[in-house]
Structure formats: structure tokens, C-alpha cells
Structure 1
Amino acid sequence: MATAPIEPPQRLVSALGGDPDGPAGAWLDALPGLVQQRLDAWELTLERVHEPGGRSSLLAYVRQADGTPAALKLPAPCRAAHEGAALEQWDGWGAARLLCADADSGALLLERLGGSVTLRSLPEAKALLEAAGTVRRLWVAPAEGHPFASLAGRTEEAVEELRTRGATTQAAGPLLDECLELRRALPADASEEVLLHGAFRQGKVLAGERAPWLAVGPSPVVGERAYDLAWLVLDRFEDLAAGSGAASAARRRVAKLADSLDVDRDRLRSWTLYRAVDAGVRELTAPGGDGQRGELLLEFATWL
């Protein structure tokens, strides 16, 4: 195999390079060697690194020994808990197929999809329809002995950070209190536990060959379906905000998605509010965050 002449994409470096002496910085330094190890071990030929790429992993387009195209993904430390296990359980049903996994590095060899064509390329109504059909396939009972965190556990881990961040900005106001209360109450009242994508949105659904649309990049968690739909409600929220009757349009979107997938409207509204406030506060308080986007997310939450 040829030497991998890779440079980590700038977006990835910017997201992880703030602590050069920490685990993320060390991982970035080791990344070219990690890529080469997987190329050699899995007999892959590197075509190119995907640009601009993501903020928590490197994705490279490769060819297998028989010439079949594939995608090699190397996640940053602590950024891809059990992604491979979820993809293995779905086995290509509604999601990219897992071809190989390396437990030591966390590397995944994936079916290659049309990385430049996502559901965001479709008109909104069509995109929501296709998204609903895709996410429905992912909602299965988790396998016995699964490694996935519960939704209650995951959000409990996040809530202390949210409380701390919220204390540094007055923008959230009463919304923050409502958000924290919803986080406490919602998991306790959930009536179902299915495997969720965990980070589902239009940009995570790519064009494929064996199926028109397939999901990628899960952050799997076990919980109720309304949580998975919440970020889908928030998709293209800037477009809603730019139009007239934004608040009514947001509520109609909640109702339409809930009804199309037999999800309780109130629970979807509540999880959407939680995720909007959480994301908004992060944008307002994170170094390099987008303050305008954060304020708009909080405004969206008030519409619900």
C-alpha cells in the first residue's frame, strides 16, 4: 500500500486542536500513522480525504483490494461511542453498512455513499418525507446485552454542563429552567425503549446505490422515538425564521412529523424544546460559537 499523504482537514483541527497536549491533540498528531495502519491492515488504497469533513472524525475515501469503493472513518477519542455496534445491528437497514471495525483505534470501514448529496439537497417537504421513512427503519429493539447508553443516562451527563453554561448567559432565562425540568421528567415518563440514531437530521442521510437514502454518523442511544425526531424538527430552522408565521410553521412541523410516525405531539414538542435550548446555550457560550445562531435557537424554543 502507498504511504498515506494525509493532512487532517482544517475543520477537524480547529475543533480539536485547542488542547495540543491533551488526548485530542495527541490523536491529531498520530492520525496519519493511524490511517496508514488501517490502509495496510485492510488492504486499502487511499483516494482522498473528505473535505471539509466533520468536527469529530476523519473520513477518507478508499478502495478495497477488489476495487470496491468504501469509506474509512477514524473517530477522535471519546467521540464515537458504539457507532460501530449500532451499524452492525442495523446491518445496512436504513443506514450505511459496516464492513470492518477495529476496536483499538475505533476505525470503521463503511459502505461508501454519496457524501456530497444529502437530504438537504431536496425541497423541504420531500426531505422531511424521506427522512421520516429512513429513521423509521432504524427504530428497532436493541440487541440483548447491547452496549448503548440510555437516554436518561446520556441527558443526565449533559444536564450539568448545560446548567453550568446557562449560568454564564442571561439569554436563556426561564427557558433554561423549563429545559432542565423537561430533561428530568421526560425520560421518567417514557413508554418505549428502542435503538435511536441519536443525532438524526437531514445532513446525516446520504444518497446511496442499494437504497435511495441511508443514514450515517449515529450517536446511538436507547430511548423514545420522539428524541430522534427532535433535531429533525429543528432542521432548516433558519428558513422558518426567515418566513412569515414562523411560530405557526414550527408547530405545524411538530404536528406533521409526530402524526406521520405515530409519535406523541406533546413529547416531540418537549424534546425539541430541550434540544433547541441545549444547542442554543452551547452556541452562545462555547469558544468560537455562533451567537446569532444560538439566539435564533432560543427564539425557536419560544415558538413551541
Structure 2
Amino acid sequence: MAFEPPRRLVRALGETAPDGDDWLEKLPETAGRAVALRELTVERVQVPGGRSSLVVLVRRPDGTPAVLKLAPPRARPGSERAALAHWGGRGAVQLLEQGSPDGALLLERLHPDVSVRSLPEAKALLEAAGTLRRLWVTPPEGHGFETVAGRTGRQAAAMRASAEADAEVAPLVETALAAREELLAAPPEEKLLHGTFRQSKVLAGERMPWLAVGPDPVVGECAFDLARLVRDRVEDLIAQPSGAATTRRRVKRLAESLDVDQERLRGWTLFRAVESGVRARRVGREQDAELLLEFAGWL
């Protein structure tokens, strides 16, 4: 079978690929080796799939359905493996093999086309929040996960560079960076976080109704993880005449439901929205940038 990467994956990785990176070029060969090594039967490549990995629906030699996931080193698949192993299937998709000679992930099969995002908005937020709560556990001793301070520090440097080159975004960037500094000055208890949590990252399963997939794990305060969920369906929020008020109510409701400080959630939501908006603008995704920066202005 030809392992042709979906267009969304090609586009997304093309935006961030360092010079000389040939991971996409070698992907069909890499996928073929991973399948042969595990004696898997391929059903199909998941389309449109993710933005940082190739997801292949497969069956193991005993006929058990599974998923084979391949991601470039810059997507930190080793970190994802470590987080999934630590969660042990509690709230997240389960690893089906403990070691990996080639860096690929063999995972339990969920329902790839049925995410929490398919539910009505209020129900989707409720189910997503419940899933997220199960993931917030104490990180393993001596862990090697990236921290919120470290990750946002890298992002802050890129945001400053963008603001210097683009005066239009400078005021929002300054506000977001100031919020980050204040939040990091006195952080609450640190937990292992999903890192990129949103409704589309929660899929229907057999073992549990809903399970999280695709973490980019990070250790830090829970408000950072919840912040990405606040802006889910941002295009719908922007289209509403009462979008700003709805957003503020969502911050309050999510903070209360998960025992997170409301102002800290608002601050991280602002920082993450501005960071995503500035990054989208930097790579030419103007429509996404416009939505995200308008949303950030409401906070």
C-alpha cells in the first residue's frame, strides 16, 4: 500500500519544517517498515488526519484493530509515549506496545471519525472538561517533560520578533507577554497536562465513552491546559453578535467546573490565543490569524 501523507499534514509540516528536513519525503518508506516490523495489516490512512503525524488504521496479527502513528522528531513522539504510558489508559488512548524500536506509536483503535466536537456545544464542553480532569495527574518522578515556563518562553521569543516586524500586533503581544510574566511569578501546583487539548482531540471509544488523543505533554498549572478549550469553535464565537460575552461566560463556567482560578484561566487563554494568532499570521494563514486575534481582544 502507498502511504501518501494527507494534504493537511503536508501543509502543516511544511509551515514548520527546518531547512533540509526530509521526514515527509521518507515517510512512505518509514511507514512501510513500521508496518512490516509489527506484521500489521493496513486498512487505510486516516484522512484528513492530524497536522503533525501520519495516522494509519491497522490490524494486529491476531486481528485486533489498532492505530499506527508516525510523527517527526520535532513533534516529540517520545514525550507523547511517556505521557500515554503514565496515564495508562485513564482518560487517554492506550499504548499497545511498551517499547518502540523505530519511534512509531501503536495505539488502541478508537472511533477516528467521532469526536466530542460532533456533540452540541454545551454537551461537548462538558464531556471534554470531564476527560481533561482525568488527565491532570502528578507527573512521574524525574520526568523529562517540557514545562509550561519553558514552552511559553520559546513562544514568547517568537512573539516578540513578530511584534517588532508587525506593529499592528504589537499591543496585543505586549499584553499577552505581560500576562505570562504575571502568571509564571506565582504558579499553583504543577500537573502533567495534555498540552494541545481541544474538542477534536477527544474521540469516542469502546473502553470508555470518550478518550483523549494526540497529546504534546507539558508539566505546569491546569489553567494552561484548559485555556485552549476556551476558544474551541472560535469561528462560531466570532460570528455571534454576543461572542465576547459568550466567551467571558465560557471562561467562568469552565473555571468553576474544573476548580481553576478564573483570572489565571483568562490570562492563559489570552496568551495562547495571541501566540496562535501571531504564528498563523507569520506563516500566511491570515483568516485564522484574524479570528484568533479578534478573540484575544475580547479577553
Q: TM-score range by the shorter chain?
A: over 0.9
CA distance in 2, matches of 1:166, 1:93: 41
Structure 2 residue aligned with 1:286: 283
**Structure 2 contact 111–204 (Cα < 8 Å) conserved:** yes
Measured in 1, the distance between the counterparts of 2:168 and 2:290 equals 7
Q: State the shift of 1:17 in Å.
A: 4.3
- How far does residue 40 in structure 1 lie from its aligned partner after superposition? 1.9
Q: Please give the alpha-carbon distance, in whole angstroms, between the structure 1 residues aligned to 2:15 and 2:220.
A: 33
1:268 aligns with 2:256: no
Distance 1:65 1:23, change over 3 A: farther
1:284/1:22 CA distance change after superposition, 3 Å: closer
Residue matched to 2:219: 222
| 3-state SS, counterpart of residue 222 of structure 1 | strand
Shift of 1:78: 1.1
User: Offset at 1:106?
Assistant: 2.1
Matches within 5 A, 1:107-118: 107-118=104-115
Write out aligned runs for 1:168-207 (5 A): 168-207=165-204
Quick one: distance in 1 between partners of 2:143 and 2:266?
A: 29
Mapping 1:25-64, distance limit 5 Å: 26-64=22-60
Partner of residue 64 from structure 2, selected from 60, 63, 68: 68
CA distance in 1 between counterparts of 2:255 and 2:18 reads 46
Residue pairs, 1:91-130, within 5 angstroms: 91-100=88-97, 103=100, 105-130=102-127
Query: SS where residue 218 of structure 1 aligns?
Result: coil
Change (3 A) 1:173 1:22: closer
SS, match of residue 165 in structure 2: coil
Residue 213 (structure 1) aligned with residue 210 (structure 2): yes
Inter-CA distance 185–52: structure 2 relative to 1 (3 Å threshold) = same
Unaligned runs of 5+ in 1: none
How far residue 77 of structure 1 moved from its aligned partner, in angstroms, is 2.4
User: How many residues are aligned here?
Assistant: 298
Runs of 4+ in 1 over 6 A off after TM superposition: 18-21
Note closer, same or farther for the CA distance 1:277–1:294 as it changes in structure 2 (3 Å cut): same
Contact preservation (8 Å) 1:168, 1:285: no
Specify the code of the residue in structure 2 equivalent to 1:129. L
Report percent identity of matched pairs: 56
- 2:139 aligns with one of 129, 139, 142: 142
Checking the alignment, whether the CA contact within 8 Å between 1:171 and 1:295 is kept in structure 2 is: no
For 1:256, the aligned partner's letter is R
RMSD of Structure 2 on Structure 1 (CA):
1.7
User: 1:303 aligns to what?
Assistant: 298
CA contact (8 A) 1:118 1:203 kept: yes
Listed one character per residue, the Cα deviations across residues 239-294 of structure 1 (whole Å, up to 9, x for unaligned) are: 1221122211110000000000000000000000001111111121214x1x1221
TM-score (norm 2): 0.95
3-state SS of the aligned residue for 2:114?
strand
Cα contact 1:207–1:214 (8 A) shared by 2: yes
TM-score with structure 1 length normalisation?
Answer: 0.93
Deviation of the 1:101 alpha carbon: 5.5
Which string of whole-angstrom CA distances, capped at 9 and with x for unpartnered residues, describes residues 107-160 of structure 1?
A: 100111111111110000000000110000000000112110111011111111
Offset at 1:167?
2.2
* Structure 1, 160-169 or 217-226: larger mean CA deviation: 160-169
Q: One-letter code of the match for 1:15?
A: A
**Could you list the per-position Cα deviations for residues 166-219 of structure 1 after superposition, in whole angstroms to 9, with x for gaps in the alignment?**
222233232110111122221231111100000000010001011110000001
